[in-house]
Amino acid sequence: DAKTTQPNSMESNEEEPVHLPCNHSTISGTDYIHWYRQLPSQGPEYVIHGLTSNVNNRMASLAIAEDRKSSTLILHRATLRDAAVYYCILQNDFGNEKLTFGTGTRLTIIP
């Protein structure tokens, strides 16, 4: 499985933008980049995904590098409810069905 690398933890002030980085230097052409987050005592929650182009939805934006070897999840205005562990995962269009989670980035929001 193609692997991703994320910082173990990050902090951000409430109501400010947050940029969560992910490196995936061994990404293949058919790998989609997915982001999930996990709030305390809950299951993971799908946030956003993309293949080559930047993506926006109501939760976040995903910026994908031109060479696709890295991506950044952007929370435009962090709230206390965004405090969670964020996972960056590659999901192949033709390969394994399982999601391979790393340890993710634990995001702390400072009031």
Give me the residues that bind another protein (CB under 8 A), please.
Answer: 30-32, 34, 36, 41-46, 49, 51, 85, 87, 91-94, 96-104
CB of 55: closest distance to another protein in angstroms? 11
Output the smallest distance, CB 51 to another protein, in A: 8
Whichever of 81 and 111 has its CB closer to another protein, that residue is: 81
- Cβ closer to another protein: 67 or 97? 97
CB 94, min distance to another protein, A: 8
**Cβ nearer to another protein, comparing 55 with 74:** 55
How many helices (H) and strands (E) would you count in the chain? Answer: 0, 9
